[in-house]
A and B are shown apart, each in its own frame.
Chain A
Amino acid sequence: MTDPLAWRWTAGKALAYALGLVLFLAVAHVDESALVAQSVAMNFVDATDQAGIEFTHVNGASAQKHIAETMGSGALFFDFDNDGWLDLFLVDGGSVTDPAIAKRARHRLYRNRGAGAAGTAASASRRFEDVTAASGIQHREYGMGACAADYDNDDRVDLFVTNLGPDVLYHNDGHGAFTDVTRRAGVGSNLLGASCAFADIDNDGDVDLFVANYVDPDPSKVCGDARARAYCRPDVYAGVPSALYRNNGDGTFTDVTKTSGLDRSDGKALGVVFADYDSDGRVDLFVANDLTRNFLYHNEGNGVFKEVGLPAGVAVASDGRVRAGMGTDVGDYDGDGKLDLVVTNFESEAHSVFRNLGGGLFADGTFESGLGPATLPFLGFGVAFLDYDNDTDLDLVIANGHVLDNTSLFKSTSKYAQRNLLLRNEGHGRFTEVGRQSGPGFALEKVSRTVVTGDIDNDGDLDLLVSNNGQSADLLRNDTEGLGNALRVKLRGRQSNRDGIGALVVATVGSRRLVREVRAGSSYLGQHDVRVHFGLGRASVVDRLDVRWPSGRVDVLKAIASQQDVTVAEGAGIVDSHPLNRR
């Protein structure tokens, strides 16, 4: 005879199971609207002082209006001491004309004290400590940009700095010490370097290096008019070739600019991003050029790149005109699984977004996406695709600031200091500008250059670091309450390069596939955290995580709980995990 209690238990279990299934389906397998956390009021606060960051960029602005003075400077997030807390590096400029001012310039390396800073009265109080002096990082040339990657796979991320003058590669020796290895490595180009990026172009297990070089900054050029002297447009200067260095795997690099097909002077490169836009397993290269057409270099797989920007539809805007390309980033903003491009441009040009159609073709989606009207009055530099509200789709942040310190003389409505933009993805590849409603951090009006993203307090949302020309840098902490869930993924390459740079990481959540690529270098003169961040909305589980490594290996992981920071090793799955510290 059946025990009625047993029946009741079974029925209750079945009911609970059914309810659970319904809930599970509601969370994980129904339409995307169920995933998305309710729209919340964003709150980015200026945490610079509180976090202990004291950095004011020295631009050396002079009456001679040297072009370099208005370009910089860069910044990046990286975890140089492998403690799981994001550190940061700020590039300083200098002076072209005054040695005394040049001496005041000093790059800054800030270590995130992490858990040591947490738990204090103000949990983020003095989170960062200036460890520049002990690091051995020195300021020798007028600095521009930076990127970082573990080029020798020794498990410590190294640092590259571009300059007006020889670029510098710093090897991370561990224990907070860096050594200048430029000469041995052979990467000290003397051209005016701008952005840089690391990626494994030949999938041989180590990262190679691309340096975007801008122009020959001939100081004899004089611009302006009867009203005033002004910084010259790029048309005035001759372009110079950028540089591609292949990693020899022994601490040295070979300059393969010529043999790879990148040796061309008809570009004026400022921004760069590596991305495998056609998913053929080989990382390609996009270069944003200033007032010349952008380059898209398709990786042909034999050490050769083929420039295909024009037929691909990313070289010029839809009207056939070149734009003043500055910064760039890659991300799947329309959720179709293909990597799209964003490029910041000059005031009155609108920043561009190029939608990846597949088959190696892009469509200019600037106006359809809403980016056009929102960005038209701004002169953009740094840019990032990011999911700042953890609602699963990629939003945009853009750092703005004019290049002319006297721009209002030439156009009354033009401003040198400009506000930065935060563009919320409405879910259908349409953006709405919400900066004014996103907290005091977006009320700042400065001469911004780079913006990079990373989670400085490991609370699962993305914070921002903004560099400003001739002004203090800004750390904008995302203090928004009630955001959706998140998952952060750090990769550990074994056959592939150590940080899995270039790996494609796809999170499947319900019916949605969230596509990210691991990158070391993008935006403008900067680099976001290389760890992959997925906003998950209300979903508490990632159903499936696919990692396609640069080696070609594909790892598939299933049912990964949200609110974690996981480390995935090539061929070994999750080897480490930590909870994200939600506020």
Chain B
Amino acid sequence: MRETPGAAPVYVPARYADGFRLVHAGRYDEAAAALQQAIERDPLAATDETLDERVHAAAAMREGSLTGAIARLERAVAQRPDATELRRMLAMAYAGDERYGQSLEQLSAAIQRDGRDERSRLTSVEILIASGQTDAAERLLVETIALLPESGQAYYRLARLYQAQSRIREAIAAFTSSAERPVLVGRDSLYETIAALRVSEGEFGDAIAASRVELEVNPNNAAAHRRLGDLYAQDGRLGESLAEFAAALFIDPRDADTHASRAQTLLRMSRFADAVAAARTAVTLRPSHEAAHYALGTALLRTGKTDEGLATLQKFEQLQAAARARRDAEWQLKLLKEQAVEQVARQDYRAAADLLRRAVAYAPPDGSVHLAAGALLIKAGEYEDAIPLLQEAVAREALEAHRYLAEAYAALHRDDESRAHQAAYDAVKGARLRRGVAIQ
């Protein structure tokens, strides 16, 4: 029953929360009774005649046979319309097939039948978000929390929604509430997130407090010690900062970031020789470390080693220029994408695709830009032009491009090629379903 730190949080479902609390309190007999009661009411744990259907449908989905799974689940739901878990599974299968409307209908029906079905509610939230209905998702989460105040997962999902919308204060409050619910694993990462959000609000004291809780959960997290050291440094508590860096280096002596942070703190304490040593270690461990080069160059100048200091700062400038070039490329790419989105909104797919063609020059190696440009050209009816871009996308492992290639070849009446790419796409989709990754 111990928390396993270092992972994304997994919460105890609301209906089991009381049982887990009793376990934590050492009241094992009462805990067993409460958990048994919760299991009996859990649609997932039901061992009725729907079990077979659920098992078979899950197997079909794992094998990538979405159509088969949907057909089986539709039959089962028709026979057992009150089985909410069946409806939830059917909703997930519909969503896997990008049939969001039907998916939400099933979830709505499930929630109508059992308002306290936490899983259906949270699945519904995910489908709403995937289909761009974030306001509705927020309303449903708020309603779920009112109904199931023990739902840590609902608080967490709401927090992430707020975070995505830059509603930082609301996100902090929701993350904090989620951390107060029983967490099976990942409580440390929750507090790491809270600390980072507090920093973004300039609340160093609260950020330090959150970071300390993170370390209480997992004292062997070197990166967490470094982050806390950085926080202390920003708060002007340089001695405590050094202590945290020492703890981090005790756990992971080869972490260049910690050595670089330590060098910066030593510089601020005018311990220039120590700063030189720490920065040198960081640079040795990671020769591309910008901040370490800056700290080293500055510390060398402070100790009178002017030539070496200037040479180090020159190296820092080169690293900084390279990083800036990368950032500029990323920014140009982002801009072109945004302009393309505007053109799409105006339904000028040709113009959007042209923008994305320009964006290819700044594109990362993942093929996503080629894929988007090709898809837009298909929308514009420019099938011939789309094909080379989509082929390049496939070469870059953007395998969804098969779907668009199938479409392009079909439009050009090159049916064999179209069928081949459709088969390739189905194979990709099946593989992803087996891994539990939705294709969107």
Contacts and interface: CB of A to CB of B under 8 A. Distances in A.
A410 B338 CA distance: 15
Contact of A319 (B169, B264, B309, B328): B264
Contact of A410 (B162, B166, B295, B335): B166
Q: How large is the interface on A (under 10, 10 to 19, 20 to 34, 35 or more residues)?
A: 35 or more
B167 A236 contact: no
A373 B165 contact: no
Given A235-B331, A367-B235, A373-B204, A413 B264 contact: no
A107 B101 CA distance: 58
Contact of A368 (B236, B297, B339): B236
Given A221-B335, A319-B291, A320-B293, A372 B234 contact: yes
Nearest to B331: A235
A12 interface: no
Contact of A311 (B200, B293, B310, B341): B310
A264 interface: no
A319 to B, nearest CB: 5
A20 interface: no
Contacts of B295: 320
Interface in A211-228: 221-226
A376 B291 contact: no
Given A318-B267, A377-B201, A412-B170, A310 B317 contact: yes
B339 A222 contact: yes
A231 to B, nearest CB: 13
Contact of A223 (B264, B324, B335, B341): B335
B335 A318 contact: no
Nearest to B237: A367
Contacts of A410: 166
Contacts of A8: none
A379 interface: no
Interface string A221-247: 111111000000101100000000000
Interface string B292-332: 01110110011000000110010011001000100110010
A38 interface: no
B interface SS class: helix
A367 to B, nearest CB: 5
B168 interface: yes
Nearest to B321: A266
Contact of A318 (B165, B200, B268, B328): B268
B310 to A, nearest CB: 6
B376 interface: no
Contacts of B297: 310-311
A363 interface: yes
A94 interface: no
Nearest to A360: B301
A interface SS class: loop
Contacts of B365: none
A321 interface: yes
Contacts of A428: none
Contacts of A414: 166
Contacts of A373: 202, 204, 234-235
Interface string B163-180: 001111110000000000
Nearest to B270: A363
Contacts of B167: 412-413
Nearest to A293: B320
A361 interface: yes
A316 interface: yes
A412 B297 CA distance: 39
Given A235-B328, A367-B234, A377-B201, A313 B335 contact: no
B111 interface: no
Given A411-B166, A412-B168, A313 B234 contact: no
Interface string B229-270: 000011110000000000000000000000000001001100
B82 interface: no
B216 interface: no
A235 B190 CA distance: 33
B290 A320 contact: yes
B397 interface: no
B105 interface: no
Contacts of B293: 320
A368 B268 contact: yes
A353 to B, nearest CB: 13
Interface string B379-421: 0000000000000000000000000000000000000000000
B57 to A, nearest CB: 36
B143 interface: no
A311 B313 contact: yes
B29 interface: no
A311 B165 CA distance: 40
A471 interface: no
A225 B338 contact: yes
Contacts of A348: 200, 202
Contacts of A411: 166, 168
Contacts of A372: 234, 236
12 contacts: A225-B338, A233-B331, A236-B331, A311-B301, A311-B309, A318-B268, A320-B291, A372-B234, A377-B202, A412-B162, A412-B166, A412-B168
Given A320-B295, A377-B202, 5 more contacts: A222-B335, A311-B301, A361-B301, A363-B267, A412-B162
Q: Which 4 A-B pairs have the closest CB atoms?
A: A320-B294, A376-B202, A320-B291, A412-B167
